Amino acid sequence: MPVLRIEDLAVTADPRSDRPLIAGLSLTVGRGEAVAVTGPSGCGKTTLLRSIVGLIDPLNGTVTLDDKTPPVVGWPTFRSRVCLVPQRPTLTDHTIQSNLARPFNFKSTAGHYDPDRARALLDRAGLSDEVGRSAATLSQGQQQRVCLVRSLLIAPDVLLLDEPTSALDSEAVKLVEALLANEMAERGLSVLIATHDTTQAQRFCTRVLDLSPLCVNKKTVGEPAHA
């Protein structure tokens, strides 16, 4: 049975516009499965992930977690169970530990911050045991991995990863993929990866969905995202 089900989704990057970027997208992600959505820059991968977690309203369609819609589950709880990790790392200037513990200040986050598990995940992500270090001193690749570890600590059912290895070298990519594979095998974590790297999509994921045919405004496909 799929844990995440997306039906007939239409999304727009501009909440004030009713012009869709992607339309008619249906997709399921099973427990412990990794699915990739691919497509060139500007085709709507990031917008799709933001729409799934409701940071922007989709124009049409439904998203369900275990057959329950977000309003039924409650948006904060839904987002703690279907957790988005954006491409651009977003950390405060405080210590790594403080950043990792931040979600546990939220009512919807189950359990308590476990420093031992945090250290174990950081080690597996190739980050040395420096939880007391300021996050501002980390490279972008290191920050990207800290963000991933922070989301894993919440123990979500589904992880939505937006270009999760865009700032990583090949060694770090291997570590991150191994870390995710371990969480999928041990906890039944499901992963939906948005990537333009088709090689990674085919290597790591069981299914790959190419967004290009669903992209309404095909003129933007192939153009740089920030042109």
Binding site for other proteins (CB under 8 A): 14-16, 53-57, 70-71, 75-77, 79-80, 83-84, 86, 88, 90, 92, 102-103, 105-109, 150-151, 154
Question: Rounded to the nearest whole angstrom, what is the least distance from the CB of residue 171 to other proteins in the complex?
Answer: 27
Both tokens assigned to 187: 């906890």
Q: Parallel, antiparallel, or unpaired for β 82-85 and 158-162?
A: parallel
State both tokens at 151.
Answer: 């989301």
- Smallest separation, CB 106 to other proteins (Å): 5
Our CB check for other proteins shows the closer of 30 and 103 to be 103
Min dist CB 24 to other proteins, Å, is 23
CB of 150 to other proteins, least distance (A): 7
Report, in Å, the least distance between residue 80 CB and other proteins.
3
User: Which CB sits closer to other proteins, 187 or 207?
Assistant: 187
- Distance in Å, CB of 119 to other proteins, minimum: 20
The string over 177-192, giving b where at least 16 C-beta atoms fall within 10 Å of a residue's C-beta and e elsewhere, is bebbeebbeeeebbbb
Q: Which is nearer to other proteins, 85 or 214 (CB)?
A: 85
Encoding tokens for residue 138?
Answer: 């980390």
Length of the chain: 227
Between 106 and 136, whose beta carbon lies closer to other proteins?
A: 106
Nearer to other proteins, 15 or 188 (CB): 15
Q: Which is nearer to other proteins, 147 or 209 (CB)?
A: 147
CA distance 122 to 129: 7
10 Å Cβ neighbour count for 171? 9
Distance (Å, whole) CA 152 – CA 85: 10
The DSSP H or E segment spanning 160 is strand 158-162
Return d(Cα 10, Cα 7) in angstroms, integer. 9
